[in-house]
Structure 1
Amino acid sequence: METSSPSTLFLCGKSSAEIEIAKSMKINDALKLPGAGQVSTLLQSEINNFRFDEEPFNVDLFMNSLSTNRFGRFLVWSPRLPSTHDVVSHNFCELPIGAVCVADVQFKGRGRSKNAWESPRGCLMYSFTLQMDDGKIVPLVQYVVSLAVTEAIKDVCDRNGFPYIDVRIKWPNDLYLNGLKVGGILCTSTYKSKKFNVSSGIGLNVGNEKPTTCLNAVLKELSTSSNEFIREDVMAAFFNKFEMLYDIFVNQGFQTLEELYYRTWLHSGQRVIVQEKNEDRVVENVVTIQGLTSSGYLLAIGDDNQMYELHPDGNRFSHPHKAAKELVS
C-alpha cells in the first residue's frame, strides 16, 4: 500500500556546480528506488510550488549553515520515503560522493540485523555517501560518524547557548541520552573498481520523544526558554564536524580520535560478565572493558589478566573464538 504512490525527491545543491548536477539528474531521470518504486524527481526551485501538510525540511536553512567542501553539499530531500539508506545505496554511482538524502517521514527504515521501523516527524533521518580506499579502516568509520553526531550536538548547544545535552555512544552504533536510546548509526559498504562505496545512515530523535525520549524533551527539562533543536541546524553541524573528523581519521588514523571517542562513549571501565558453558555447568569470568582493538572490536581484560576481544551479537556481545561465550551486562 505504501509504494502505490510515488516518492517525491527534490534535488538541491549548495553551489551552481551542484545545482547543475541536480538539473542533469532530473533530465536523465537518474535516481531509482529499489523494488521498482515510483519516483517523481524535482528541483529545489520547485519546492515553493507545493503545499505541505506540515512544515517541510528547510533546505535553505540547512545550506546556509553548511560550511563543508564535500559532504552534504548535494541534497536529496523527500517529504516521505521508504528509506533514505536505500536511496543512497541503490543510487550510489549516480550520486556525487558526499551526497545526502533526508526525509521528513521514513516508513521502512533500516538497522542492524535487518531491523526495520517507521520513523515519524520529529526524527532526523538521513543517509550519505563516502568512498574509501583502505578496507581495513572501513569498519571504523561508523565510530567517526557516531562521534560527529555527538560533537555536532555539543556545537549546536554552544552556539545557541543551550544547556549541555550529554548524548553518549553505546558501542557499536547507538546513541543514548539519560540512559535511553535517542539514535543509531548504520554503515554498509560494497566493493567496486578497487574502492569501498560506503553508505552511512543516521537516525536521531530531535523532536519526537516516542518511544524513548528526544533532544528537545531533555532540553525543555533543563531550560526555561522555548528554544529547540532544529533538524536542519543539527544536520549541517554534523557534516561540518564529520568532514573535519573524517579527514583526521583518513590521514592520521583512528588512534588520533580515540581519546575524544572514549570521553563520549559509555563503556570506559565497564565491568561485565562473560559466561562460558562447560559441559553441564556455567563458568563466569568478570572482564573490564579497556577500549577498542585495532580492528574496532571491544578490548576487555579479565580479572585473571586474560585479554578478550568482544564482538556485537544483537543487543549483546560475544567472544569470537568460543561460540559458547556470551557477554551479559
Structure 2
Amino acid sequence: MSAPLDIDQLQTFVAIIDTGSFTKAAARVFKTQSAVSMQMRRLEERIGKQLFIKDGRGNRLSAEGDKLLNYARRIIRLNSEAMAAFDDNRLEGTLRIGTPDDYADRYMPEIIGRFAKTHPNVELYIVCEPSVSLAEKMGRGELDIALVTHNPVARHSDVVRTEPLCWVGSANHALKEGAPVPLAVGRRDCNWRQLACSALDADGRDYQVLFTSWSSTVVAAAVLAGLAVSIMPESALRGGMKVLTQADGFPPLPPVQIGIMKRPGLSPSLMNAISDHIAACLDNMTPTPHEDDLDTDAKSFGRQFPRLRPGHMIPGW
C-alpha cells in the first residue's frame, strides 16, 4: 500500500505557488529555504514526478506540478475542516460581511460554503450593496468585513485579486454601426461608470447612457438583450456575452482589483478565518464562468491574471 502524502509538504508546495518564491514561502511556513527545497525534493520523490522545471536562475511549475496543486488545496482544506469539526475552542458569534451583488454572484457561494464547514457556530450576516455604500457602512462600524472594488483614492482595502476589466456586449446582437455606444452602468458615482465614460471620451467615441442601476443583474440583462454595452470584471462574464476589444472599436481598460476592508477591533481569530477563506477562494477561481457558452473572443481574452500556471517563473530554488 502506498504511503500517504505529507500534508506539511503539500502546505509548503502551495505556499511556493501562492507567494511565487521559495524564499517567501520559507518565511510563510517558518522554515529555511534549504528545508523548503528538501521538502519539495521529497514530495517529487513521493509523487514520482517533477513538479518544478529549472529555467535559468529560477524555476517554473511543470504540468505535473499544476496537476498536483488542485489536489493539494483540496487535501489541505479537508484536513482543516476535519480538525475544526473536533475543535472545542472553535469560533462562535456573528460576522457581518458586505459585498457588491456582482461579487456575491460569483464569489460568495464558495466562500460561504467553505467558511460554514470550518466554523459552523459562526452566523454570517451578508449585505449586498455597491462598494461606495459598503465603505460608508464600514466607517460607521456596521460591517466587519467588506469585499470591495479596490480604490486607493477613495478607501483603503487589501488587494486579494486582480483580473481584466472588459467591455461586454451581447454575442447574439450586433451594435448599430455609426450610432453612439449604448451604455448600461452604475450610478454617477460608480467608479466603473466613470472609467467607461472617460475611456470613450479619450477615444473620441460617442456614447449614451441608456440604463443606470446598482444591480449587476439588471445591467447583465440589458447586455444580454442586446440593448447596451457595459464593463465587467472577467470573472463576471456570462454565457451569451461577448468581450469587445480594440478590433471592435473599444479602448483598452485597466485591470480591476478586488480588496478586503476590515473593521478595526474585530476579533483577530474571526478576521483571520474569513480573510483566509476569501483569499483562498478568490485565488482558486477559474478565469470565467460558463466558459463553453462564451463567445470565442471572450474565451481568448487575456488570461494573465489568474493564479500561477505552468511556465510561470518561480525564483529561488
TM norm structure 1: 0.22
Q: Determine which structure has the larger helix proportion and give its number.
A: 2
TM norm structure 2: 0.23
